[in-house]
Every structure is written in structure tokens, then in C-alpha cells.
Amino acid sequence: MLQRLRKLSQKGQGIVEYALILAFVVAIAAVALNSKGEDSLGTKIKSLFTTTGTKIDAAKDNINGSSGN
């Protein structure tokens, strides 16, 4: 019975450790993404997605335009 309690205690400890690590990673990501300024991570990611979307739209327009010829 004591071994069973020890296993449950170790399992609970592992779950708490994973939860703390996850919370730490989420907190760091939130701080990094919410930073203000032109060189912040959030601004760079937004710019990357905007540029990628623009390039995809341009490629789509090129494909649609060339299929009509």
C-alpha cells in the first residue's frame, strides 16, 4: 500500500512539473509576443505572415492570369 501511494505521489509530482514548465513557456512566449517596438518578436512574426500572404496572393494571381491565355 505504501508503494502504491509513493507511485501516485511521483506521478502527481511529474504532472505538476510538466504544468510548471508549460506555464513558464507560455509566460515567456506572451512576453516576447506582446513586446512593443519595431524590432519586437511579435512585430517580426506579423511582418513574416503578411509578406508570406502577399507572395501567395501574387503567385495565385500569376497562375490565374496565365491560365486565361
pLDDT tens sequence across 19-69: 999 999 999 988 888 877 778 888 888 899 999 999 999 999 888 876 544
Cα gap 27→31, rounded to integer Å: 6
- Residue 53's pLDDT is what? 95
CB of 32 closer than 8 Å to CB of 38: no
- Residue 44's pLDDT is what? 87
CB of 45 closer than 8 Å to CB of 33: yes
Rounded to two decimals, the pTM is: 0.50
- Residue 66's pLDDT is what? 63
Residue 9 has pLDDT above 60, yes or no: yes
Residue 2 has pLDDT above 70, yes or no: no
